[in-house]
Amino acid sequence: MSRLHVVSGKGGTGKTTVAAALALALATEGRRTLLVEVEGRQGIAQVFETEALPYEERKIAVAPGPEPAGASRGDSAGGGGGRRAGGDVYALAIDAERALLDYLQMFYKLGGAGRALKKLGAIDFATTIAPGLRDVLLTGKACEAVRRKDKRGRYVYDAVVMDAPPTGRITRFLNVNDEVAGLAKIGPIHNQAQAVMRVLKSPETAVHLVTLLEEMPVQETVDGIAELRAAGLPVGGVVINMTRPEVLDTGEVDIAANGARTGIAEALATAGLSGGRRGAAGVAWADRLIDPLLEEAREHAQRVDLERAEHAELAGLGLPTYELELLPEGVDLAGLYRLARDLRKQGPI
């Protein structure tokens, strides 16, 4: 079972929300998870409706325990009668400058000298002119959390979830330590880069991609998976986010796509939508509703047809697929717990 879950996706697909829901889903039966943010957007704090995250691991949520047999979908998100306790979700917003100070202390014991470098602006300068260095620090900090053990030799976190950069640069982001290990042939930087890559390319890690059933996000997902595989990075699953129900069955979709009008006005009049007026006048009134209704039905049919095609393309990747529904009112804290529950119901991820 994977212990590092890297969540990526095209901008606008909801990858931060999915990462947060996944962290909650993994924190069951007393398990402890760490949710890591690396882009400095404080997106995790917004999703969990809490204050900005500091550069320290902080508990932000308690996951609900497993649902008892026969529990209904309407049970409260945070628990209820008959539930066993869930686990804890911690969060960390990694700051590249602070991570560099950690590295300087870890490898070179600079102590106060490191703090002096920060005051002089040298650390900000280093992380700005060398974007690859920033990625090394971010991935290294996350992998350190994966490997960290307590005094009894047990892992501090059962799972670490990383809200990672978008699909377009996820392979370069994760593979940067391979490049660094090749440039620095010996020494602590080389050893650290190799240690990070051992985690990232091991069965402990799974890179999940979030997509919508739309052409561009799906194509970017397909391309991203090909790049990850070419780089030898372990691909996990595909999360199809914000799915919408089909309100028409297959036969009705076909009728809508063809723009059929036969009998619609009569049906509307008979149903009383003509304001109670029967006969020709009622049909004429109802007839004015047909074109707008047919236009909406055609648009729905086109969307359903497109989504089915995109779904088939994703199925062809041969990866586990998970679906999360669109929450019409937006994602609040209760909605986040609901998404976490839906992820758990779809099997291990």
Same domain, 109 and 222: yes
Q: What is the mean pLDDT of the chain?
A: 81
pLDDT at res. 182? 63
Q: What does pTM read for this prediction? A: 0.81
Model confidence at 197: pLDDT above 60: yes
Indicate whether 196 and 335 sit together in one domain. Answer: yes
In a domain, 237, yes or no: yes
Report the CATH number at residue 148.
Answer: 3.40.50.300
Kindly state whether residues 262 and 193 are assigned to the same domain. Answer: no
Residues 178 and 217 grouped into a single domain: yes
The DSSP line for 165-184 is PPHHHHHHHHHHHHHHHHH-
Domain assignment of residue 271, yes or no: yes
Q: Could you tell me if 201 and 267 lie in one domain?
A: no
Q: Which of 26-30, 279-283, 322-326 has the highest mean pLDDT?
A: 322-326
Are both 24 and 39 inside the same structural domain? Answer: yes
Residue at 192 is within a domain: yes
Structurally, the chain folds into a number of domains equal to 2
Are 165 and 259 contained in the same domain?
no
Looking at the DSSP bridge assignments, the partners of residue 4 are 160, 205
User: For the segment 205-226, what is each residue's pLDDT rounded down to a tens digit?
Assistant: 999 999 999 999 999 999 999 9
Residue 128 identity: T
Strand partners, 36: 92, 162
Residues 295 and 149 in one domain: no
Q: Are 248 and 226 in contact (CB under 8 A)?
A: no
254-266 pLDDT, tens digit each:
655 565 555 455 4
Residue 281 tokens read as 């006048």
Q: What is the dihedral of CA 94, 98, 102, 105, to 10 degrees?
A: 180
Instruction: Look up the domain containing 288 and give its range.
Output: 250-301
Q: Which residues contact 180 (CB under 8 A, 6 or more apart)?
A: 132, 136, 189, 190, 193
Using pLDDT thresholds of 50, 70 and 90, give the confidence band for residue 77.
Answer: very low
Residues 72 and 188 occupy one common structural domain: yes
Same domain, 335 and 268: no
Q: Tell whether 286 and 154 lie within a shared domain.
A: no
